[in-house]
Amino acid sequence: MGPHHPECPERLAAIADRLIASGLDAYLEHHVAPAATREQIARVHGTRYIDDVEAASPESGLAYLDPDTALNPHTLDAARHAAGAVVKAVDLAMAGTCKTAFCAVRPPGHHAERGRAMGFCIYNSIAIGARHACAAHGLERVAIVDFDVHHGNGTEDIIANDDRVLMVSIFQHPLYPYSGAVPLGTNMVNVPVPPYTRGPQVRALIEENWLAPLDAFRPEMIFISAGFDAHREDELGQLGLVEADYTWITEQVKAVAVKHARGRIVSCLEGGYNLSALARSVAAHLRVLTAA
């Protein structure tokens, strides 16, 4: 998205390097995803929006969809493959090839609304994956867990009052995009927290607000919008999580998945812009997802 933009290619390189250095890479299967189809994207985004994004894609330079969100000549292809990664992860999980998957993708997606790009996001990959699980595999109940420091306004816009989907989230408030304090639907469990909240308080809020609704919903698959910008070293937010907190959160989600969803979890990278903190946090997340 241009020089000095926090949503940079080095994010994925940092993750890959950390997984190799930590020894985790040896325990992972790597898949290259195809691009999501127009039909798959259209389960989430309107036809006019899809057409407008395609028309805005430049042959050179940058084309801005909003002040924070730009297209270069390759962005549209990357966004299609990011969504396609979540779709393929769903297919692999449903086939029994793997129980858990982590989609290391750019650009992120959870701010992309049904008809609006924003917050570095073009297509809402996690929502596309959730709708694919229902439409292509007949799942009746899927859950979305979002622990990015920013509210997943796009996902909420798309799935609010869809009784096949329960979304639970925790996010700093007030903070961009300045939404989420009032849920848009009865299937939303929004937990806004003030700046400078630390890990122990976040864990308590998750225990109090997420776990009972998730258990009662009995999801057949769990999706994670895995943003790691709530880390205390990340300058795009002011929360105080550390790697141990991401380990704990992932353990709670995994326990629900084991109980109700045959262990099926599809996690997709959202935010996380301090490269070291991002890489360490993803490694902590994956240690739990790969554990027997």
Q: Which residues are annotated as catalytic?
A: 111
Contact 150, 232 (CB under 8 A): no
3-state secondary structure (DSSP) of residue 281: helix
Burial class (CB in 10 A: 0-12, 13-18, 19+), 287: middle
Distance between CA atoms of residues 97 and 93, nearest Å: 6
Which one, of 193, 265, 174, lies nearest residue 224 by Cα?
265
Q: Which two tokens stand for residue 199?
A: 């890990």
Rounded to the nearest 5 degrees, what angle is found at the Cα of 14, between the Cα atoms of 174 and 72? Answer: 70
